[in-house]
A and B are shown apart, each in its own frame.
Chain A
Amino acid sequence: SQKIEQNSEALNIQEGKTATLTCNYTNYSPAYLQWYRQDPGRGPVFLLLIRENEKEKRKERLKVTFDTTLKQSLFHITASQPADSATYLCALDRGYSGAGSYQLTFGKGTKLSVIP
């Protein structure tokens, strides 16, 4: 079955540094990979989507890479700020089922804490 692993449950980083989160997957070749942010007691919020034919995607201080050979995605936050503290979820598409539904498989997430 598909398996998604996010490198660690928790990551602490000093303010101003670059945070790097890892998402590894097995037994699947997704066409798309998504990253979400989740704050305590709230629903996940979509951040970025990257396609299998894209090596890198950027949005402001965020950067995502997608290596289909390594079966890995890296999520970077540059110049990190305390407000970036949250849990970040990696999600892989399970493909179009043909029945009109599109589904994601989520990792457990990495809780990032940016220390002032």
Chain B
Amino acid sequence: ETGVTQTPRHLVMGMTNKKSLKCEQHLGHNAMYWYKQSAKKPLELMFVYNFKEQTENNSVPSRFSPECPNSSHLFLHLHTLQPEDSALYLCASSQDLGGPRGYEQYFGPGTRLTVT
């Protein structure tokens, strides 16, 4: 267990459905991230939140909508997805105090999403 949980672990949805992915971290971290991992491609950073404020949106289509109500919880709301959005969606957290030093990230187990 890494201290980061994600639900659901598997999700199959139609292109017209609306669903949400949930992430919770129990590590007291202040930064949370959503990544997309597709086969044969590197992890793609989607969104970054720090102290509940979104600090990065890497040109993600609007059919993905993040929400961070507090530093421990992160959601990814999905609607009208495309089959190419099928992937493993990973949540991560880190203790980001800013400044010039590296911080390791702690990942959840991911949600395997299939869009039909």
Contacts and interface: CB of A to CB of B under 8 A. Distances in A.
A89 B90 CA distance: 15
Interface stretch (A13-21, A37-45, A73-81): A37-45
Interface stretch (B12-20, B37-45, B60-68, B77-85): B37-45
A102 B102 contact: yes
A49 B56 contact: no
A108 B40 CA distance: 7
Given A100-B51, A100-B53, A108-B42, A43 B99 contact: no
B47 to A, nearest CB: 10
B94 interface: yes
Contact of A44 (B45, B51, B107): B107
A107 B31 CA distance: 22
Interface in A60-98: 89, 93, 96-97
Interface of A: 4, 31-32, 34, 41-46, 49, 51, 89, 93, 96-97, 99-109
Interface of B: 2, 4, 31, 33, 40-43, 45, 48-51, 53, 55-56, 88, 90, 92, 94, 96, 98-110, 112
Given A43-B107, A102-B102, 16 more contacts: A4-B42, A41-B88, A43-B4, A44-B105, A45-B2, A46-B105, A49-B104, A89-B42, A97-B56, A99-B50, A103-B45, A103-B48, A103-B56, A104-B45, A107-B42, A108-B41
